[in-house]
Structure 1
Amino acid sequence: MTSTARSPQLTATGVVRAGGPGELAGRPVSRLGYGAMQLERLDREAAVALLRRAVELGIDHVDTAQFYGNGFVNEVIGAALRPQDGVMVVSKVGAEPAPDGPVPLRLAQRPEQLRAGVEDNLKSLGLEQIPLVNLRRADHGPGLRPEGDQIVDLDDQLAVMADLRDEGKIGAIGLSSVTLDGLRRALPAGIACVQNAYSLVAREDEDLLRLCLDEGIAWVPYFPLGGAFAGLPKVADEPAVVAAAGALGVAPAQIGLAWLLHHTPNTLLIPGTAAPEHLRANVDAAAISFDDRTLATLDAVPTRSGDIELG
Structure 2
Amino acid sequence: MSHTDTFTDTTASGAPRPGGGWQLAGHTVSRVGFGAMQLERLDGDRAAAVAIVRRAVELGVDHIDTAEFYGYGFANGVLREALREEDGVVVVSKVGAAPDPGGPRPLRLAQRPEELREAIEANLASLGLDQIPVVNLRRADAGAGLIAEGDQIVDLDDQLAVMVALRDEGKIGAIGLSNVSLAQLRRGMPAGIVCVQNAYSLVARDDEETLALCVEEGIAWVPYFPLGSAFPGFPKVTDQPAVRAAAESLGASPAQVGLAWLLQHAPNVLLIPGTADGAHLEANVAAGSLALSGPTMASLDAIRASR
The bucket for the TM-score relative to the shorter chain is over 0.9
Structure 1 residue ranges (4+ consecutive) displaced by more than 3 angstroms after TM superposition: 100-103
**Structure 1 position 132 matched with structure 2 position 134:** yes
More displaced 10-residue stretch of structure 1: 274-283 or 16-25: 16-25
Residues 41 and 139 of structure 1: is their aligned pair in 2 closer, same or farther, counting only changes over 3 Å?
same
The residue number in structure 2 matching 1:169 is 171
Q: How does 1:1-311 map to 2 (within 5 A)?
A: 8-42=8-42, 43-302=45-304
State the shift of 1:26 in Å: 1.4
Q: Deviations over 1:188-216 (max 9, x none)?
A: 11100000000000111111111111111
State the shift of 1:141 in Å: 2.7
State the shift of 1:99 in Å: 2.9
Residues 235 and 93 of structure 1: is their aligned pair in 2 closer, same or farther, counting only changes over 3 Å?
same
Residues 103 and 301 of structure 1: is their aligned pair in 2 closer, same or farther, counting only changes over 3 Å?
farther
> 1:202 touches 1:303 (CA, 8 Å); kept in 2?
no
What SS does the aligned partner of 1:295 have?
Answer: helix
Residues 68 and 205 of structure 1: is their aligned pair in 2 closer, same or farther, counting only changes over 3 Å?
same
Give the percent of matched residue pairs that are identical in Structure 1 and Structure 2: 68
Count of aligned positions: 299
Rounded to whole Å, the distance in 2 between the matches of 1:164 and 1:140 is: 26
TM-score, normalised to structure 1, is: 0.94
> 1:96 touches 1:106 (CA, 8 Å); kept in 2?
yes
Structure 1: stretches of 5+ with no match in the other structure: 1-6, 306-311
Amino acid of the structure 2 residue aligned with 1:213: V
TM-score, normalised to structure 2, is: 0.95
State the shift of 1:243 in Å: 0.9
Amino acid of the structure 2 residue aligned with 1:246: E
The residue number in structure 2 matching 1:3 is none
What SS does the aligned partner of 2:303 have?
Answer: coil
State the shift of 1:50 in Å: 0.3
The residue number in structure 2 matching 1:309 is none
Amino acid of the structure 2 residue aligned with 1:173: I
Rounded to whole Å, the distance in 1 between the matches of 2:87 and 2:305 is: 39
Q: Deviations over 1:105-126 (max 9, x none)?
A: 1110000000000000000000
State the shift of 1:145 in Å: 0.6
Q: Deviations over 1:157-184 (max 9, x none)?
A: 0000000000000000000001111001
> 1:141 touches 1:196 (CA, 8 Å); kept in 2?
no
Rounded to whole Å, the distance in 2 between the matches of 1:107 and 1:162 is: 20
